[in-house]
Amino acid sequence: MKNKKCNNPRHVILVTGANGFVGYSLCKALYDYGHQVRSAVRKNDSVIAPNTIRVTVGEISDQTDWTEALNGIDTVIHLAAHVHILKNKVGNSLEEFRRVNTAGTLNLANCAAARGIKRLIFISSIKVNGEETHGGKKFSETDTPAPLNAYSRSKLEAEHGLRKIANKTGLEVVIIRPPLIYGPGVKANFAILLRWLRYGLPLPFGSINNQRSLVSLENLIDFLVTCLDHPAAANETFLVSDDTDISTTELLYRLGYVLGSPVHLVSVPATWLKVAAFILHKQDLLRRLCGSLQVDISKARTLLNWRPPISLDEGLRRIV
């Protein structure tokens, strides 16, 4: 990761969700850049990055007390969110996503504004734009939002509320919508692909002609550091990626190469895969594996002069 110690002044930064996949690495990187970092977590036993200050805030909602966490802070990076699609209806309800992702976020923003904190960086989701792109047309910041599930709706509602708070209080808000994030310690669907490849399983994805944008953990962190105090980032929304799109078939071959595992792909007609996904109730998983989702990062390149510091292939290599 490139050194930005000389480019950015020293910040005192609160990172929520500091024990998560992105949060832990972000906190470590921020400290390495010379910033003071406060790691906000829900539980006292949560593992946090070394050389950061723990602050336990409990469950995130509109009732969360941020007094101690925000004391002396000048920048907030808000990663914490309710993201898991649970089988029980209560945990999967729109109300539960709103409680954390919308009301919890806006409570934090109001508390930050009341304390005179300069900037809040909010990690939203590309799912605010929609679930798929078609015909090679990439998502951009100017698209009309089209969230399709409770998670992405709650994120969009949080974005709307943050903009209102920014207009009313002067708190600078930066909204970032990343696509799938990968890197060392990645979980969820990406981890499933890695396990399949390590086991040498034959996979029915030998002729998937989709195109998907990804963002490596290191590139995302670099972008977050850029947004800490770049004047042009204030009150803007950005899409971010590695700036290289790839099909699922090619991704599997490249992952197999960096893992040193043979890749056994079988060309199965897309219609067969759709039937199988329907029978197994895995339509969402199939869409992520076989559908296209491309993002345009020209705004970040033009407005912030930002370029991904590492390539897609290097990002995949660092997973290992």
d(CA 65, CA 115) in angstroms, rounded, equals 13
User: In the structure encoding, which two tokens stand for residue 164, read together?
Assistant: 């209102």
d(CA 156, CA 290) in angstroms, rounded, equals 25
Residues belonging to the active site: 151
Q: What is the dihedral of CA 152, 196, 253, 83, to 10 degrees?
A: 10
d(CA 289, CA 247) in angstroms, rounded, equals 9
Task: Specify whether the CB–CB gap between 87 and 127 falls below 8 A.
Answer: no
Task: Specify whether the CB–CB gap between 217 and 22 falls below 8 A.
Answer: yes
Q: What is the DSSP string of 170-235?
A: --EEEEEE--EEESTT--HHHHHHHHHHHHT-EES-TT----EEEEEHHHHHHHHHHHTT-GGGTT
Instruction: Give the residues across from 173 on adjacent strands.
Output: 120
Q: What is the DSSP string of 279-297?
A: HTT-HHHHHHHHS-B-B--
User: In the structure encoding, which two tokens stand for residue 143, read together?
Assistant: 């698209």
Calculate the alpha carbon distances from 270 to 188, 196, 201, 273, 289 in Å. 23, 20, 19, 5, 11
Strand ranges, E, within the chain:
12-16, 36-41, 53-56, 75-78, 119-123, 172-177, 180-182, 202-203, 212-216, 236-239, 245-246, 264-265
